[in-house]
Structure 1
Amino acid sequence: MHHLSNLSLLHSRPDRIALARERFFEGGQAPTGVVSEAVFESWARCLRLHGNPNERATFQPVTASRTQLALMKNRPLRQAWLDEVPRLEAMLSTSNCTAMLTDATGVLIGSTCVGRSHEELMPVATRLGVNLSEDAVGTTAPGVVARTGKPVCVQGGEHFFDSVKEMHCAAAPIRDIRGQLAGVLDLSSERIPFAFDAAAVAGLYAGAIENRLLVAQSTEHLVVRFQVAHDLLDSAMVGLIGIDVGGRIAWENGVARSLLGGRAHPAAQAERWLEPSFGLPWEQLVALPAAGAAPLALPNGLQVWARAEMRAPDGRRGLVVGASLPAVAPEPPVVPEPTAEPMEEPVADPRAAKRLRESDLDLIRTTLQACGGNVSDAAKQLGVSRGLIYRRLRG
């Protein structure tokens, strides 16, 4: 494929993009140095998929059943979005931008107010259920992020279809506690180019929504918040990490990865444990305050402020703050056979209750370790409810 030349003589970026489009779509010349690699690769995919960029893009909803399924499957994500919308709307109130939330496939599941006098595409594109994927509407910021999982900015003529070139959009991914793409936050403006770094703003608010989602999805995790300044603990810049009862790091957000040493995304990580990352055992982390902050020295030499809360399956918080757990027994005791179903208190099997009382917290810790930190599995093996285990851990 030939590369473009002499584009530097054109002073206007829209003019350079227009010439790059013409030479790429008609002559096969790669738009190197004019558009980002992400946009170029999307053009190539859309050219194979859609063929003619001069055709009109149609912003159509998916079926009603698929829309309802997307809304149901993404309830935690939508709630995190709704909790953040007031701040988003306040920030965008003096701009010409609209915020949109899609699921991981590009289906719209939320948007802020639209309907400004100069907007024609936005009222159509922001309906619930509209498919914003590359397969449906070609190169757009939310479509590219849904495809690649990476943040991107697509402005004006960088959109695949000519009919969408009045749009300017910047989008960022939102991930869940498994490190998988959960959704996409997009900021879009029709006809009026961005007068600020829209990619940075989209990334900031995507991070805020992601933080809310991570905490909401955390059950049976100790959630630790930390930052170099204590007044950042309630901001989108907070480092967040989830630790299971067995002492393993279950998830962490991007800020936490940076503060702990800039490791790759946890989805690509092997099993990781608490003490090498924080230099502290569970007993000391769980004793961090649930409100306010306490100083914490990380093994990498960084001094941070931190607080912690224990999340329970019923959504309650602060269940074990201030507790002190004993060390794991050197020799694991005999564990009772699993019961057919986890039982609620009072415990149906008096022998299991007797063993639990006799061996106290050592049996709980040992069983949790054998179950990989899974409280539900440990409760089944011990023949007790998860609530009892939480209360015993609480001391």
Structure 2
Amino acid sequence: MRTAPRTLSTEGLPAQPFFQTPEQRAALARQRFFDEDVRPSGLVSEAVIQSWGRSRSLGHTRHKCPSLDPVSRASLNATLARNRELLDAAQLDLNQLEASLTGTQCRVLLTDATGVIVHVTHGAREPGQGTLNVASRVGVNLAEGHIGTTAPGIVVRTGLASTVLGCEHYYDMFQDMRCAAAPIRDVQGRLVGVLDLSTESRGFGFDAASVVGVFATSIENRLLQAQSDRHLVLHFQAAPALLGTPMEGLAGVSTDGEVVWLNATGHSLLGRGPKQPQGSVGELLGLEMRQLLALCGTPSARLVQLPSGLGIWMKVELRMPDGVDVPHGVGWSAAPAPVAPATSVPHERDAPAQHHEADEAAEANGVVPAPAAAAPTGAPSLAEAQQALIVRSLQANGGNVARTARQLGVSRGLVYRHLRKPATD
């Protein structure tokens, strides 16, 4: 005997049990959280829910208008001065990002570690973006304590990339805005800035989280290198074509062979967690300092096998204590020999008067005698390696200081100073 098919009862179900768009889910989440005091798990991200909770506990009232006044002029000047290194490292990428976004009506913002805007897109304000025009001014604080839930506010609070769309913002007045933000860290792993893309009254039309993430990584990589004036900087990746891009791994190595910092890609390639101690180059890379110093002279990347068995392509950059980058391929041999500066060029204090006068005459002509390198006595320190690099370049250029300085990308005075360093330097 055939039985009639069983029908499911819809009694008790809401009129719209399913919400197809993120906007609909966010609106329902907002209703449950603010009107029904129910945690809307699964409707919006956990980061947004937690930020709503923090914002409410801070006393924000979503129907009111938060203060969007910039910090005082004195405080802003101090903030800009304190973040000069970040701004310098970010300038090129900010210009490129702004050029890429021409015509999208997106605003590019850079904040410091506390959420204060230190850079904003130049140019005329777009029509229909009145709220964004007011909120995106240099000196405005975007932290949760000031304007509740926003993407840069979440990044400042958590250190994690975030996207906040429409009514996911805490305040009602921001419900037409969309923002995506990513963190920027320094060599000590501290949050130093947040890069943000924001728009109002329209969608991004592209994956804003991916775009802002790439440019934030590029800024962070530049900052890490700028802060490594006494480190060997290692550039590495599994594919050589990725070197020189935001996807390359970077590491800073101190004079004693310790890896003092790694960028996010470097952590992944070397299998180190962000909170794990870095260790030595021997432990992480299976290399000695002499081998790394030898790579400074290679015109192209070299294939290196890690202790894990993974093969990576690597370039090594030697940075002067003066903060000057030494270009690759300046003349390092496979086993660079250390140089004893005191025996190669007499110091001014120890040189006889006649020799000092001869030095001055030679310097006036832009040529000095190229000193001879000392015999190898072990793995060179970075200071010895830098000294040896100048000496070798000077020898290759027949003692011509001006040509040597141009080749190294430094001033002639810097070359003279390095050649006159006493043995105790």
State the TM-score, normalizing by the size of structure 1. Answer: 0.79
1:310 corresponds in structure 2 to 318
Return closer, same or farther for 1:347/1:105 CA change in 2, 3 Å cut-off: farther
Q: Return the alpha-carbon distance in structure 2 between the equivalents of residues 255 and 136 of structure 1.
A: 33
2:165 corresponds in structure 1 to 155
1:72 aligned residue (81, 85, 99): 81
Tell me if 1:116 matches 2:126.
yes
Return closer, same or farther for 1:316/1:347 CA change in 2, 3 Å cut-off: same
Q: CA deviation at 1:360?
A: 8.2
SS in 2 for 1:235: coil
2:306 aligned residue (287, 298, 305): 298
1:41 aligned residue (21, 25, 50): 50
SS in 2 for 1:9: coil
Q: How does 1:136-175 map to 2 (within 5 A)?
A: 136-175=146-185
What do the CA deviations read for 1:336-375 (whole angstroms, capped 9, x no partner)? xxxxxxxxx949799xxxxxx999856986x99xxxxxxx
Tell me if 1:197 matches 2:207.
yes
1:127 corresponds in structure 2 to 137
Q: Is the 8 A contact 1:100 1:185 kept in 2?
A: yes
Q: How does 1:6-85 map to 2 (within 5 A)?
A: 8-85=17-94
Return closer, same or farther for 1:349/1:178 CA change in 2, 3 Å cut-off: farther
Q: Name the count of aligned residue pairs.
A: 346
Return closer, same or farther for 1:347/1:8 CA change in 2, 3 Å cut-off: farther
2:196 corresponds in structure 1 to 186
SS in 1 for 2:325: coil
Q: Is the 8 A contact 1:286 1:321 kept in 2?
A: no
Q: Return the alpha-carbon distance in structure 2 between the equivalents of residues 271 and 91 of structure 1.
A: 36
Return closer, same or farther for 1:134/1:280 CA change in 2, 3 Å cut-off: same
1:246 corresponds in structure 2 to 256
SS in 1 for 2:326: coil
Q: CA deviation at 1:22?
A: 1.9
Q: CA deviation at 1:133?
A: 0.6
What do the CA deviations read for 1:155-201 (whole angstroms, capped 9, x no partner)? 00000000011110010100000011010001111111222221111
Q: CA deviation at 1:15?
A: 2.7
Q: Return the alpha-carbon distance in structure 2 between the equivalents of residues 8 and 349 of structure 1.
A: 88
Query: What percentage of residue pairs aligned between the two structures are identical?
Result: 40
Q: Return the alpha-carbon distance in structure 2 between the equivalents of residues 310 and 155 of structure 1.
A: 44
Return closer, same or farther for 1:23/1:271 CA change in 2, 3 Å cut-off: closer
Q: Return the alpha-carbon distance in structure 2 between the equivalents of residues 361 and 182 of structure 1.
A: 42
Is there any run of 5+ residues in structure 1 with no aligned partner, and where? 328-344, 351-356, 369-385
What do the CA deviations read for 1:28-66 (whole angstroms, capped 9, x no partner)? 100101111111000001011134211113322112121
Quick one: which amino acid aligns to residue 107 of structure 2?
T
Return closer, same or farther for 1:276/1:347 CA change in 2, 3 Å cut-off: farther
Q: CA deviation at 1:390?
A: 9.2
Return closer, same or farther for 1:108/1:308 CA change in 2, 3 Å cut-off: same
Q: CA deviation at 1:67?
A: 1.0
Return closer, same or farther for 1:362/1:293 CA change in 2, 3 Å cut-off: closer
SS in 1 for 2:184: strand
Tell me if 1:274 matches 2:297.
no
Return closer, same or farther for 1:388/1:139 CA change in 2, 3 Å cut-off: farther
What do the CA deviations read for 1:226-280 (whole angstroms, capped 9, x no partner)? 112222212111111110010000111111111112x211xx2335111111111
Q: Return the alpha-carbon distance in structure 1 between the equivalents of residues 288 and 75 of structure 2.
A: 46
Return closer, same or farther for 1:105/1:388 CA change in 2, 3 Å cut-off: farther
Return closer, same or farther for 1:148/1:81 CA change in 2, 3 Å cut-off: same
Q: Return the alpha-carbon distance in structure 2 between the equivalents of residues 95 and 215 of structure 1.
A: 32
Q: Which has the larger radius of gyration?
A: 2
1:334 corresponds in structure 2 to none
SS in 2 for 1:121: helix
Q: Is the 8 A contact 1:46 1:139 kept in 2?
A: yes
Q: CA deviation at 1:103?
A: 0.4
